[in-house]
A and B are shown apart, each in its own frame.
Chain A
Amino acid sequence: MEGCLELIHRVPGATPQLDALEERTLIRQAQRGDRAAFEQLVRLHEGGVLRLALQMVRSEEEAKDIYQEAFLKIYRSLGRFRFESRFSTWMYRVVMNVCLDHLRRAGTRREVQAPESEPGQAEFFHTLPEERPALNPERALQGREVQRRIQAALTRLSPRERLVFELKHYQGMKLRAIGDYCGTSEQTAKNCLFRATQKLRLELKEIA
């Protein structure tokens, strides 16, 4: 699990990892309202947070919003951190919740646009004309088209499936760590990963 957490935290040019005592000292200073100490904590994790946000929402503007919203929430609730878990785990739980909120809102925006008579999201998207272009296989394999398909397929996952899939496939985290980060069980994370891969397999069948 340690190794997996590393992945998400490894940021080029970031401050090197603190040892446990240094981190504890910083957190306590930040809890007493020391803004410089809080900013140091932010510097340690901001690269990972921003990269994750950018993977999830794709728009820089929205990634920035996630960054701001998440760290502000962390700042506000820092007083409640009791050193019962790793700080990074506690912190990423907040980040994950903010990401989930953004994905939910994006999903609702999409659903609202969908005609209500459509039985489900997947079906709705398949009826969009540009989703089923009469492309020849070579054309379909062109990078841009492939990437558009991947993005569309990921967007069709439920927010939770999407989050778990991003953390597993793109961040290489272990399911147990993902469960910790999302404040849920390993089993639930496992179910999400399973559903996500099933859906993606169907969605990407033609280009895989």
Chain B
Amino acid sequence: MNCKTVEDKLTFYLYDELEAGERAAVAAHLEACAACAAAARELERMRAVLDQRPRREPSPELLVRSREALDEALDREAESWRALVRSWFIVPPGVSALRATAALTILVLGFSLGWTLRTRVPAAATGNGSGQAPWVGSDLSNLRISGVSQVAPDPQTRAVRITLDAQRRVVLEGSFDDPRIRQVLLYAMKNYDNPGIRRDTLEVLGQSGNNPTVREALLYALRRDPNPGVRLEAAEALQALDWGPDVRQALLDVLREDQNAGVRVAAVNVLVEHADENVLPVLEQMAAGDPDTYVRLTCARALRERAREDF
């Protein structure tokens, strides 16, 4: 082993990360070479200096405060729409995904305006306390809904009640795998007034895999949602999707056009993981020209890190 090789391996030698053979070779070289032995001693001194940094043990008080903070967050979580949406994706062991999601029930109640139904299902089945006939498993492919006024999870039954602005009261039952149900959810996501709920829903849908409806919902939210928090959530959730030109294009558009610097930074963070010849020029352009210092620095740093590591 020559001095250059030993120099490169010294760190790993001292941190005990070499194979036995390499280890022995480095040790033998250090016995024989004064210069390398000196370098090893220098590195050892540095390690000893670093050991002087005190280990900080979490105080019992910090542990208690941390538990309380988590408890509160979990309480909020249990009450949220997100908890219910999430429960649709949890597949108990030994049960096929299809059967598990078939248990999903969505109730769509309280239509008032503008809901155009073209359904083949006879309007006769069980009444739902409204005096109006419900549709069960209606064909939703031609539906137009004028608005969503409320999305209310029911923790008791683990069902979700979506109140839409439409003309009639309708009960929908189906699994998340049912494209018609997805359509309602997608619609709710695009139209629901409360950005907090849109954000929660997106986060959960982002975890639910690569189906085309989820993809569409995330890309839609990223480009169009009026709330920057929701767009931010969409940018983060996109990381779970298979990378593709549609995702790349949406992120590049956001980086160039979104008014919110935080959303642009989130887009950079995803793009840099997939920085190819389509992406790099835009990052360079933004590093030089973005109006926001933070975005320029993030682009510049992403390019720097990209240039020297692959992690």
Interchain CA distance A146-B49 in the complex, whole Å: 8
What chain A residues lie within 8 Å of B42 (beta carbons)? Answer: 201, 208
Interchain CA distance A175-B62 in the complex, whole Å: 30
Question: Is residue A76 within 8 Å, beta carbon to beta carbon, of the partner chain?
Answer: yes
Interchain CA distance A44-B293 in the complex, whole Å: 42
Distance in Å: Cβ of A202 to nearest Cβ of chain B = 10
Q: Is B46 within 8 A of A200, CB to CB? A: yes
Q: Binding site of B, secondary structure by majority: helix, strand, loop or mixed?
A: helix
Interchain CA distance A208-B42 in the complex, whole Å: 7
Question: Is residue A192 within 8 Å, beta carbon to beta carbon, of the partner chain?
Answer: yes
Binary A-proximity of B14-58 (CB < 8 A = 1, otherwise 0): 010100000000000000000000000011011111101111111
Q: Is B53 within 8 A of A151, CB to CB? A: yes
| Nearest neighbor of A176 in chain B, beta-carbon distance | B17
Contact (A32, B46) CB under 8 Å given A67-B69, A72-B70: no
Q: Is B62 within 8 A of A64, CB to CB? A: yes
Q: Is A150 within 8 A of B69, CB to CB? A: no
* Number of chain A interface residues as a range: 35 or more
Beta-carbon contacts under 8 Å, A40-80 to B: 42, 46-47, 50-51, 54-55, 58, 60, 63-65, 67-68, 71-72, 75-77, 79-80
What chain B residues lie within 8 Å of A197 (beta carbons)? Answer: 11, 43, 46
Interchain CA distance A160-B83 in the complex, whole Å: 32
Question: Is residue B311 within 8 Å, beta carbon to beta carbon, of the partner chain?
Answer: yes
Question: Is residue A191 within 8 Å, beta carbon to beta carbon, of the partner chain?
Answer: yes
| Nearest neighbor of A188 in chain B, beta-carbon distance | B311
Given A46-B63, A51-B56, A68-B70; 18 other pairs, CB 8 A cutoff: A33-B87, A35-B74, A35-B78, A42-B70, A51-B55, A51-B58, A55-B55, A58-B56, A60-B62, A63-B66, A75-B74, A76-B77, A107-B301, A154-B53, A174-B17, A175-B17, A192-B311, A208-B46
